[in-house]
Amino acid sequence: MKYFLILPILLLLQGCVYFNEEGISTKRYKDCIEYYDAQGRYHCECDENLIDYDQMTDKLLKGNE
């Protein structure tokens, strides 16, 4: 039910909300900080999406049961 409440908000904020391949975000491209530490391990720190598509489908499937 709360996803039906989120949908009008997303439609009102179309200029501020972007749909990317991983979910819904406030930025068109993910601002990730990528670096290697002193031991040579790769790190990628990214901002979180507002909602991920897998979370959305899980909630919708559980709501239909």
pLDDT in tens, 25-58: 877 777 789 999 999 999 999 888 888 888 877 7
pLDDT at residue 3 greater than cutoff 80: no
Average pLDDT over every residue of 59-63? 71
pLDDT at 61 > cutoff 70: yes
pLDDT higher than 90, residue 7 = no
Asked if 44 contacts 34 with a C-beta cutoff of 8 angstroms, the reply is: yes
pLDDT > 90? residue 18:
no
pTM of this structure: 0.46
Structural tokens at position 64:
């239909």
CA pseudo-torsion sign 24, 26, 30, 35: negative
Domain boundaries, the chain: 2-55
